[in-house]
Structure 1
Amino acid sequence: MESGGKTFRTLTAPSGPVEFRERKSKFLGVAYPVDSTEQAREQVAALWQEFPDATHICYAYRIGSDLPEIRMNDDGEPSHSAGAPIFGQIESFDLMDVLVCVIRYYGGTKLGVGGLIQAYRDAARRCLEHGRIVTRIPKAVLSLGFTYADLDAVLRIIDQNRFNVVRREMALSCRIDLEVPVEETERVRNAFGPVPGVTINDKG
């Protein structure tokens, strides 16, 4: 999901499983970069295929930044004892577009609500500590349309500003696509103001 125009932190790759044991119960923490709720649901379903004998697979995710989609699932554990502490670690690590799951194998000893909260929190934390976290800058693609007569002027502006060209079509009617940070789209549009023949369309 497009995380608005703000920079955000996320995982570059899946992390885990990282194993954690508490009073004979085994907890496996895993985390994934995701960009949609559908992808998150599919990943949880895949975990059930991989760990069909697990007692619980609890999870939380946060997708997007401006109006984030948030979900916490206790999967039959006492209310707020699993999904919420997992989500608390997503918040603690300040992550977006991420799914964190904790797989539990019951060991025969009840942990109580307080013990469950601590165990799920610790499993999520250990997993994220092993994750590769990066700060991402949301990008947009602006498509420049112009005639061949304006080509030199357009290329000069691109070179002066070091804009990133991702596609170009050169003919009587030319087109160049630029990839730029979302927060800089207005500056890019203004840069081509001196060439009135240039049209700029946002391709997302």
Structure 2
Amino acid sequence: MPTFTLAGPISAELEIRKSRFIGHAIPVVDRDAAMQALRLLRDAHPGATHVCWALLAGGQSGMSDDGEPSGTAGRPILEVLRHHDLDGVLAAVVRYYGGVKLGAGGLVRAYTDAIASALQHAQRVERIAYGLLTIEIDYADEARVRRWMEQEAVELVDSRYGMSVQLVLRMPATKCDAARGTLRDLTQGRAGFERSDGGADR
């Protein structure tokens, strides 16, 4: 089943009983990128009472209520991401407290609504997992392999020249197995492979 990420960052603001809730949904590659985006968000809103968030990114998930009562912010935000089949997305809600307490149920609704309204008009794009394939070939086979790479729009990540030629190729993970077979045929069985997986990316 395909998963989706966002074409770009998107935000929406709601005012609920004098509190401002600003929902942000930001496409990210992994947890590190999400933490960096979160830092930028906190820097942009130094006066915010809470910055609550949830993350889904290639098997890495996380959430924080950032001082709100436990379970009233991070989890509802995470559920909205899951409901939209999103991955590789940091969802954060910046809250400026307006002096009126919302109660646990009110908070859950407010955080859910803030992120849901940000995602309402978001453009989703299919998220593709990429893999790296390391191939070792003879010098005589290099031109043939490079022609194949051009035709298939395969990205060359690294190349090393020694007794043989070693190329590191990046392509959708689902195509790695077929590529091995094709490259073996192209080189009449001379190609050798070493597999290293890249992270999930768009």
Confirm or deny a common fold (TM above 0.5). Answer: yes
1:78 to 69, 78, 90: 69
Q: Which runs of 5+ in 2 are unaligned?
A: 198-202
Counterpart of 1:62, as a letter, is L
Query: Which piece of structure 1 moves more, 33-42 or 84-93?
Result: 33-42
| Pair 1:82–1:76, CA change in 2 (3 A) | same
**1:55 CA drift (Å):** 1.4
Query: Which piece of structure 1 moves more, 22-31 or 37-46?
Result: 37-46
Q: Structure 1 residue 138 and structure 2 residue 156: aligned?
A: no
Distance, in Å, in 1 between the alignment partners of 2:57 and 2:84 is: 14
**1:46 CA drift (Å):** 2.1
Aligned equivalent of 1:100: 91
TM (normalized to structure 1)?
Answer: 0.80
**1:91 CA drift (Å):** 0.5
Query: Which piece of structure 1 moves more, 18-27 or 130-139?
Result: 130-139
Counterpart of 1:12, as a letter, is A
Aligned equivalent of 2:56: 62
Distance, in Å, in 2 between the alignment partners of 1:191 and 1:51 is: 53
1:124-154 deviations in Å (ceiling 9; x for gaps)? 0111223332102212232433234445764
1:164 to 149, 153, 158: 153
Aligned equivalent of 1:20: 14
**1:87 CA drift (Å):** 0.7
Q: Percent identity of the aligned residues?
A: 35
TM (normalized to structure 2)?
Answer: 0.81
| Pair 1:133–1:198, CA change in 2 (3 A) | same
Aligned equivalent of 1:123: 114
Residues 184 and 190 in structure 2, CA contact (< 8 A), matched pair in contact too: no
Q: Which runs of 5+ in 1 are unaligned?
A: 1-5
CA-based RMSD of the aligned residues comes to 2.8
1:73-121 deviations in Å (ceiling 9; x for gaps)? 1112111111111111111111112111111111222111111111100
**1:163 CA drift (Å):** 2.5
Counterpart of 2:175, as a letter, is E
Distance, in Å, in 2 between the alignment partners of 1:31 and 1:149 is: 49
Residues 163 and 180 in structure 1, CA contact (< 8 A), matched pair in contact too: no
Distance, in Å, in 1 between the alignment partners of 2:121 and 2:53 is: 17
**1:182 CA drift (Å):** 0.7
Residues 148 and 171 in structure 1, CA contact (< 8 A), matched pair in contact too: no
